[in-house]
Structure 1
Amino acid sequence: MTQLEKLTLFYDGACPLCQAEILFLSGRNQANLLGFVDINSELFDPQKVGVSCEAALAAMYGQFADGTLIQGVSVFPEAYRRADLPRLAWLFSRKPLQPFFKLAYLFFAKNRHAISSLLGPAALRLVKSNSASSSQ
């Protein structure tokens, strides 16, 4: 098996669904192969990353330890692989499904705050309650 290099995910911390996904992934980050940076925080440096805040708000970005950037749907299989979620990694990397995932992701990215206001609080509660019960 090839060694995976660390991947830093840049996410919108003001989006409850995004927060839920990051909380879920961080709970599965036992190998410490994922890093997380809220693009709304002082930890996000657009100059250093090479991505403006506006671009980072428009699409999910990830950056490998070697500095290589990936964006959009291609971030998900890489993140799931590092979070030891092989089935999700496999699903999100299927070429025939890419057009569907890209359209769905574009729709979500443009409407994430409206979608999150409906689904985010419940998703966040679910992830928090699962992480609390698994740590007991």
Structure 2
Amino acid sequence: MKHVTVWYDGSCPLCAREIAVMKRLNRRGAVDFVNVGDQESASCPIDRRALLERLHAREGEGPILSGAPAFAAMWRALPLLRPLGLAARSPFVLRVLEALYLRFLRLRPPSMALLKARAITPG
């Protein structure tokens, strides 16, 4: 199994929650998580703005993957999610996952605003 590096936007509450779950599943340390949302100095193999727009990952020394292929690479490195990552090797499954990810990206800005507003509002 190849080591995977994942670049994510830790300033996004939804992304941070998702990655927190992935970190708990990363018992073997097969995935390195790099938060590019809070660190100007974070290791950025491509333009930082591009890294903040979508999840990116790299399996070993392979190409940098974006979106659903990046999730699939991460899942393949995590034993519990490996079957889903392997299923995503199918072009059809990967297209479906990418379509779902694109929907999430459209909902992300209003969801982030709502979550940040809730965090600020005393209650």
Band of TM-score, shorter chain: 0.7 to 0.9
Shift of residue 33 of structure 1?
0.6
Matched-pair contact (CA < 8 Å) for 1:108–1:115? no
Whole-angstrom CA distance in 2 between matches of 1:25 and 1:19: 10
1:111 alignment counterpart = 107
| CA offset digits 1:104-136 (Å, max 9, x no partner) | 21232243132345579xxxxxxxxxxxxxxxx
Larger relative CO (CA 8 A, sep 6+): 1 or 2? Answer: 1
1:32 alignment counterpart = 29
Task: Decide which moves more: 19-28 or 104-113.
Answer: 104-113
Q: 1:114 to 1:23 in 2, by over 3 A?
A: same
Q: What root-mean-square deviation, in Å, do the aligned CA atoms of Structure 1 and Structure 2 show? A: 2.3
| Mapped pair 1:74 → 2:69 | yes
| Mapped pair 1:102 → 2:108 | no
Unaligned 5+ residue runs, structure 2? 117-123
Unaligned 5+ residue runs, structure 1? 121-136
2:52 alignment counterpart = 57
What amino acid sits opposite 2:96 in the alignment?
F
- TM-score, with structure 2 as normaliser: 0.76
- TM-score, with structure 1 as normaliser: 0.70
1:134 alignment counterpart = none
Picking from 43, 46, 55, the partner of 1:45 is 43
| CA offset digits 1:39-84 (Å, max 9, x no partner) | 12145233xx1x1111112221112332531111101122112111
Q: For this pair of structures, how many residues does the alignment match?
A: 114
Whole-angstrom CA distance in 1 between matches of 2:27 and 2:15: 20
Sequence identity percentage: 25
| Mapped pair 1:15 → 2:5 | no
- Structure whose residues are more often helix by fraction: 1
